[in-house]
Chains A and B, each alone.
Chain A
Amino acid sequence: MLEPLFESESKEKALLYLYTHGESYSREIARAFGLYGNTVQYQLLKLESGGVLYSKLKGRVRLFGFNPRYPFKKELEALLKKALSFIPEEELDRLYRPRLRPRRTGKPLP
């Protein structure tokens, strides 16, 4: 959808994923979309280098999220929000509507 603008499917998916999930890491994003981890990592680092994303280490995982200091953050988020409205409901549920509430340790997933 936004590929002509972003010139990369993985970049578009990574941005949409981060927009809906807040923070994530390359392997999680790659797994969700069936992409190569290195491809996603490359795009995330490029976006970080451009100031669009921030990253921080949590344990041994590097988490990425939207940089609140990126001057076009609001506009980018508006674009991503609109792009999401074109995605079928089933795909939204599967990929872009994360469960945010906690789940007790040991409780099986439905």
Chain B
Amino acid sequence: MIRKGLPLTDLAALICDVYKKNGIDVVLSGGACVSIYTKNKYESFDLDFVLLSHIGRKKIGLVLETLGFRKDGRHYRHPNTPYIVEFLFPPLSVGEEPVREIHEIRRGKTTLRLLSPTDCVKDRLAAFYDWNDNPSLAQAIMVCKHTAVDLREVRRWSLNEGMKDKHELFREALSKEALK
């Protein structure tokens, strides 16, 4: 079912779909969304799915095992793919706010549910805001360059997070990048 070289989006959609069929809603978040929105300009091998409701770890594992994944600590690995799958507990949030809109990408008969480009940028900026993580800032900028992002919403959210100064740094970096 999972062949070697299966692209990230197809794999993530397949996983999303198999959980959906088992009555479990999951949403892809984190670096994998950056990979998808930047068409692999940034490459992530972590598939972090957020559960939309509380499910026991055992059930999560059983579903993934039907696709041939094996548990490795808190993660799941598959012999035919370098991607590592992890499940995070709800709620699905960016900073202090819940995620309201979930983006969907169709891949054949499967559908991938993931953070929208705007929430993906917020998610990366949250890491920059909280941990001073510059690679996360660079990823946020990359997403803005490759896909449509609601920058007004990003600003509103940033101010709500109390990150006015750091949002300015993001805007400056984004403007510099636009001039390149």
Contacts and interface: CB of A to CB of B under 8 A. Distances in A.
Contact of A49 (B74, B97, B98, B130): B74
Interface of A: 49-51, 68-69, 71, 73-74
A49 B89 contact: yes
A71 B126 contact: no
B167 to A, nearest CB: 16
Interface of B: 74, 88-89, 91, 93, 95-98, 126-127, 130-131
- Residue with the greatest number of chain B CB neighbours at <10 A, chosen from A50, A68, A73: A68
Contact of A51 (B89, B97, B130): B89
Contacts, number: 20
B160 to A, nearest CB: 12
Contact of B93 (A49, A50, A71, A74): A71
Nearest to B87: A49
B126 A69 contact: yes
Nearest to A68: B130
Contact of B130 (A69, A71, A74): A69
B74 A74 contact: no
Contact of A71 (B74, B97, B127): B97
Contacts of A50: 89
Given A69-B126, A69-B130, A51 B88 contact: yes
B89 A74 contact: no
A71 B131 CA distance: 16
- Residue with the greatest number of chain A CB neighbours at <10 A, chosen from B89, B93, B96: B96
A46 B95 CA distance: 21
B91 A71 contact: yes
A51 B92 CA distance: 11
A69 B127 CA distance: 8
Given A49-B89, A68-B131, 16 more contacts: A49-B74, A50-B89, A51-B88, A68-B130, A69-B95, A69-B126, A69-B127, A69-B130, A71-B91, A71-B93, A71-B95, A71-B96, A71-B97, A71-B98, A73-B96, A74-B96
